[in-house]
Amino acid sequence: MTEPAPDDDLARFEAARPRLFAIAYRMLGSISDAEDIVQDAWLRWRRATEAEPDGVRAPAAYLAQVVTRLSIDRLRQLRRRREQYVGTWLPEPLDAAPPTQAALPDASALTALGESLQLSFLFLLESLGPIERAVFLLR
């Protein structure tokens, strides 16, 4: 068995990183928590590939599963801590590039509709448990 070079592991991880961050962010709603989860996934990935270099046959699937499970664990921890907080939890908004004005017939109406839909979606996510949220976001 040939042992993959650490650079190969890093390249595979970096290729999957945007998707892993997206999964963690959608589940947790916090950029810093999502980055922490992705970092923890990297550490687990390194341990798994060092222990058995040929053991992970589908790196992208393995990493997505690790991020999902770590996110579920983090949600459970956060829920226990938030039990004392009476307000609702809402994710931090991600900065997105605004659409061009030429492409929009009525920019203010579309912006208002988009914000309304985004807020509704966030409230929907809040009502789901950790497992249901993972299933919803991964489908």
pLDDT along the chain (139 residues), means of 10: 64 91 90 94 90 81 94 87 60 59 60 75 79 80
| Cα–Cα nearest to 60, from 101, 9, 100, 110 | 9
If one counts the domains in the chain, the total is 1
Q: Assess if residue 122 is contained within a domain.
A: yes
Q: Assess if residue 112 is contained within a domain.
A: yes
Q: Quote the pLDDT of residue 6.
A: 60
Q: Contact at 8 Å (CB) between 66 and 126?
A: no
pTM equals 0.60
Domain extent, residue 111, equals 6-138
Q: Quote the pLDDT of residue 23.
A: 92
What is the rounded CA–CA span in Å between residue 130 and residue 78? 11
Q: Assess if residue 74 is contained within a domain.
A: yes
Q: Assess if residue 14 is contained within a domain.
A: yes
The maximal CA–CA distance of the chain, rounded, in angstroms, is: 61
